Amino acid sequence: MSGVITGFAIILAVISVGVILSRTGVIRDDRERLVLNRVAFYAASPALLFSSVAKSDADTLFSPVILVIFLATVATAVVYIIASTLFFRQDLPTTTMGAASSCYFNSVNIGLPVSVYVLGEATYVVPVLVLQMVVFTPFILAGLVSEDSGERSRVARIWGPVRTAVFSPVVIGSVLGLVVALVGLQIPDPVMRPLEILGGASIPMILISFGASLRNTAPLTTPADRPGTIVATGLKLVGMPLIAWGIALSLGLEGNELYASVILATLPAAQNVYNFAASYQRGMIIARDTVFLTTFGSLPVMLVIALLFGR
């Protein structure tokens, strides 16, 4: 489990840098902090996603584990939406961020070391990254901007957010990377290396901004967002792993594929969820609090799962 611990240590260290920069006045307010999110969203993250997906092996992009994660993600999001509808009504962007926080997990800076050191290979995490960015991200972004459309036509109200999501930089970067991987195109180093360097700035910027946002607040201090945060956190830490476990068993998975399905479903909510929320100024509190709580809470859950599987 050393890879998991290392991944968590990296995240917490960089978040701490953001807290320190905020408290010392280097990052003075939200306006300055959100510049980091915008640079990450429009430049660094697309470069990271393109370079990561483009270098992946096309043969590993499809496996039973990916099907389990897809079904578990959809099922978990539906459970959150039902809970929100029945017990704590939220506007559509906030509901979108709550649902995303409950099922859209960190497949890069925690998922990669988990895949390499805990599962023994990176076969599973790259396809999950492609799935998240190409399939799920457009729906998340569409939900975030759904209330911004002033069009009268129902078709226009639906198409506007979808178009914004599909043509967002992070989705374009992911799709282009997927095309390169499927075609087997070799990108020359003078093109790929600058993209890799730019992409390397994405996660640190998001984490620093996240840490800076914690300066004057603590999780679960906003009453209006507290129910949604608790439900999203519970689903991410317990609900989604159990759902993935059940789906994997029903599909006949066993051994490493079963273990991989459950472990990946236990990963904490992704910093990208917070980055989306901060970039569009929608649902930021529930996204921030769920990312914070699941980042701390997922490690002990993973240790329990590893013990149950005898790993």
- The 10s digit of each residue's pLDDT in 46-95 is 898 888 878 877 666 678 989 999 999 999 999 999 999 999 888 888 99
How far are the Cα atoms of 115, 196, 226, 228 from residue 84, in angstroms, in the given order? Answer: 32, 39, 12, 7
- Cβ neighbours of residue 194 under 8 Å, at least 6 residues apart? none
- Cβ neighbours of residue 289 under 8 Å, at least 6 residues apart? 219, 220, 222, 225, 229, 233
Instruction: Tell me if 271 sits within 8 A of 110, measured CB to CB.
Output: no
pLDDT at 12 (0 to 100): 82
Please tell me the distance from the alpha carbon of residue 88 to that of residue 161, in angstroms, as a whole number: 24
Structural domains in the chain (count): 1
Please tell me the distance from the alpha carbon of residue 208 to that of residue 18, in angstroms, as a whole number: 4
- The 10s digit of each residue's pLDDT in 25-56 is 999 888 888 899 889 888 988 898 888 878 87
DSSP secondary structure string for all residues of 282-310: SSHHHHHHHHHHHHHHHHHHHHHHHHHTT
Is the model's pTM score more than 0.85? no
Full residue range of the structural domain in which residue 51 is found: 2-308
Q: Assign residue 231 the CATH number of its domain.
A: 1.20.1530.20
Instruction: Tell me if 307 sits within 8 A of 63, measured CB to CB.
Output: no
Please tell me the distance from the alpha carbon of residue 96 to that of residue 102, in angstroms, as a whole number: 10
3-class secondary structure, 50: helix
Please tell me the distance from the alpha carbon of residue 251 to that of residue 105, in angstroms, as a whole number: 22
Instruction: Tell me if 209 sits within 8 A of 44, measured CB to CB.
Output: no
Question: If we measure between CA atoms, which residue out of 280, 235, 224 comes closest to residue 72?
Answer: 235
pLDDT at 228 (0 to 100): 94
- The 10s digit of each residue's pLDDT in 291-301 is 889 988 888 89
